[in-house]
Amino acid sequence: MGENHFFIAGMQRCGTTFLYNIFDLHSEICMAKPLKPEPKYFLSDDLIAKGRAYYEKKYFNHDKEYKAYGEKSTSYSEYPKVIENIKRFYPEAKFILILRNPVERAISNYFFSFENQIETRSLEEVFIKEIRRPDIKKSISVSPFDYKKRGIYADYVLSFIDNIDEKYLKIIILEELIDNINLIKELYRFVGVTEEKISENIQEKVNDIERSQNIPKDIYNKLHDYYQKPNEKLGRLLNKNLENIWK
SS3 content of the chain, % helix, strand, coil (to 5): 45, 10, 45
Q: Tens of pLDDT along the chain (247 residues)?
A: 889 999 999 899 999 999 999 999 899 999 999 999 999 999 999 999 999 999 999 999 989 999 999 999 999 999 999 999 999 999 999 999 999 999 999 999 999 889 888 899 999 999 999 999 887 766 676 788 889 999 999 999 999 999 999 999 999 999 999 888 899 999 999 999 998 666 666 666 544 444 455 788 999 999 999 999 999 999 999 999 999 999 8
User: Would residue 59 be called left, alpha or beta, if left means φ above 0 and alpha means ψ between -120 and 50 degrees?
Assistant: alpha
b/e 136-149 (16+ beta carbons within 10 angstroms → b)? eeeeebbebbebbe
Predicted TM-score (pTM) of the model is 0.91
Q: What CATH homologous superfamily does 5-245 map to?
A: P-loop containing nucleotide triphosphate hydrolases (3.40.50.300)
Cβ atoms of residues 74 and 11 within 8 Å: yes
Q: Using CB atoms within 10 A of its CB, is residue 77 exposed (0-12), middle (13-18) or buried (19+)?
A: buried
User: What is the C-alpha separation between 26 and 183, in angstroms, rounded?
Assistant: 15
